[in-house]
């Protein structure tokens, strides 16, 4: 069973609204074991929409149309589906009464143009769930089917969960499978480097069709490696994933910091808990971003005590005891990390200083950063040249220094 998603609305093409509906539908189709190979966006143009739906039906067994079921002139999904089906639109009296009742319950009279929402292509069925004024539709096209759902996310969710996913499973019959994915997160290697390291394994999987591997570049969240398996049962899919995760982790080594899509800071917090250690931070150009990432997660106070944002030289000197002299250097970041342990009374600390831009420091290129970790009283520092604008330099530095701390904690 193959199902495509067609997101409808000129506002999607103009970037005025981000299409989160297609992502949500794609995720839930995968969980239901329904293959989805194409997702398309099309504007509010009748001819282009008809063409898009026909193309989708040529490729797939089912199509979910999202949006264009409102009462205004640019809501044309019903008309386009009727043309694809080769049937007229007919007023559904029960749908009309239901819409009118919604207005009455709010003490308002129904505008007559809302009756457009009660028009249904002949031969189509209304989806029972209707949290808003727009009925969803199940529209047979030969041995295939078109579903129409509103673009309002919570209305679409209710119809998908209540009717559409179950109907797709029923139509798929014995073809229904379970599709599951696991995501490994890595740091310290490029996408091309990962592809090279895993090239042999990817080729094996292409031949065996045992599972698939894909890369998701996610900026300062890490480079993700998604492994997907399709099987007859949940247990079989999980077993395939467990085996494949072990293989991939073995090939990539310690650049893998999570095998369950956990962010770097969660991994570090868990390692600190296991070590029974407390942590603090000393931040200059990152301005509290390390502390913010850590404290986004409930329970961080188990191990994280606090931080010092020492953006000016006098704070570095007076609070952390950094020696007089240049404050953007390896010596400075080492003293910051040691000072954080001392001032905050913690076992472990990280420190950041550098030039994030856009202005450069004399003799120091933009993107040059010094990072340090202090574990068990031993401070270590390193220098990195980060790419990108100010925001990326800062965020890349956060995950890099946390990764350095992760590696040191694993050494213990």
| Cα–Cα distance for residue pair 405/320, rounded to 1 Å | 20
> Could you tell me the CATH number of the domain that includes residue 193?
3.30.70.2860
Q: Are residues 142 and 194 in the same domain?
A: no
Q: Write phi, then psi, for 147 (nearest 5 degrees).
A: -105, 140
Q: Are residues 288 and 304 in the same domain?
A: yes
* Count of the separate structural domains present in the chain: 3
Domain range enclosing 224: 178-258
Q: Are residues 136 and 232 in the same domain?
A: no
> SS3 of 284, please?
coil
Q: Are residues 191 and 168 in the same domain?
A: no
Beta-bridge partner residues of 371: 352, 382
Q: Are residues 171 and 31 in the same domain?
A: yes
Q: Are residues 292 and 344 in the same domain?
A: yes
Domain boundary among 258, 284, 308: 258
Whole-structure pTM value: 0.74
> Could you tell me the CATH number of the domain that includes residue 77?
3.40.980.10
Q: Are residues 61 and 160 in the same domain?
A: yes
Query: Which distant-in-sequence residues (6+ apart) come within 8 Å of 147 by Cβ?
Result: 62, 63, 64, 65, 127, 136, 137, 138, 139, 164, 167
Query: Which distant-in-sequence residues (6+ apart) come within 8 Å of 91 by Cβ?
Result: 115, 118, 119, 120
Return per-residue pLDDT of the chain as tens, 412 residues: 899 999 999 999 999 999 999 999 999 998 888 999 999 999 999 999 999 999 999 999 999 999 999 999 899 999 999 999 999 999 999 999 999 999 998 888 899 989 999 999 999 999 999 999 999 999 999 999 999 999 999 999 999 999 999 999 999 885 567 888 999 999 999 889 999 999 999 999 989 888 999 998 888 899 999 999 988 888 999 999 999 999 999 999 999 999 999 999 999 999 999 999 999 999 999 999 999 999 999 999 999 999 999 999 999 999 999 998 888 999 999 999 999 999 999 999 999 999 998 887 888 899 999 999 999 999 999 999 999 899 999 999 999 999 999 999 999 8
Q: Are residues 19 and 157 in the same domain?
A: yes
Give Cα 59 distance to the centre of its chain: 27
Per DSSP bridges, beta strands 137-141 and 119-121 are unpaired
Closest C-alpha to 165, from 9, 37, 27, 7:
27
Helices (H) and strands (E) in the chain, counts: 15, 17
| Cα–Cα distance for residue pair 286/297, rounded to 1 Å | 19
């Amino acid at each position: 069973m193959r199902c495509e998603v067609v997101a409808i609305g000129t506002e999607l093409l103009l970037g005025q609204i981000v299409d989160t509906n297609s992502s949500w539908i794609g995720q839930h189709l995968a969980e239901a074991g329904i293959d989805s190979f194409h997702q398309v966006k099309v504007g509010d143009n009748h001819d282009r929409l008809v063409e898009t739906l026909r193309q989708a039906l040529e490729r797939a067994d089912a199509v979910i149309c999202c949006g264009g079921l409102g009462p205004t002139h640019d809501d044309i999904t019903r008309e386009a589906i009727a043309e694809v089906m080769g049937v007229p639109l007919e007023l559904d009296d029960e749908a009309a009464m239901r819409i009118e009742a919604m207005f009455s319950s709010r003490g308002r009279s129904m505008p007559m143009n809302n009756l457009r929402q009660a028009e249904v292509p002949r031969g189509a069925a209304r989806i029972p769930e209707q949290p808003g004024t727009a009925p969803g539709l199940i529209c047979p096209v030969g041995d295939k089917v078109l579903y129409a759902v509103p673009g309002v996310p919570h209305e679409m969710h209710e119809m998908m969960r209540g009717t559409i996913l179950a109907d797709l499973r029923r139509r798929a019959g014995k073809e229904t499978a379970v599709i599951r994915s696991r995501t490994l997160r890595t740091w310290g290697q490029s996408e091309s480097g990962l592809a090279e390291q895993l090239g042999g394994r990817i080729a094996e999987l292409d031949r065996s069709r045992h599972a698939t591997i894909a890369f998701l570049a996610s900026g300062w969240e890490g480079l993700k490696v998604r492994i997907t398996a399709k099987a007859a049962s949940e247990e079989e899919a999980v077993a395939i994933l467990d085996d494949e995760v072990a293989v991939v982790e073995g090939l990539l080594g310690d650049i893998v910091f999570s095998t369950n899509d956990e962010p770097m800071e969660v991994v570090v917090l868990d390692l600190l808990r296991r070590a029974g250690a407390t942590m603090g931070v000393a931040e200059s150009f990152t301005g509290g971003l390390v502390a913010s990432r850590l404290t986004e997660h409930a329970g961080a106070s188990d191990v994280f005590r606090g931080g010092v944002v020492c953006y000016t030289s006098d704070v570095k000197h007076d609070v952390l005891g950094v020696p007089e002299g240049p404050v953007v250097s390896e010596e400075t970041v080492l003293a910051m990390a040691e000072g954080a342990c001392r001032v905050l009374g913690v076992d472990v600390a990280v420190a950041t200083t550098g030039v994030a831009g856009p202005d450069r420091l004399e003799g120091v290129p933009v993107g040059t950063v010094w990072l340090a970790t202090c574990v068990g009283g031993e401070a270590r520092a390193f220098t990195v040249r980060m790419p990108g604008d100010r925001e990326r330099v800062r965020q890349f530095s956060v995950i890099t220094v946390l990764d350095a701390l992760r590696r040191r904690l694993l050494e213990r």
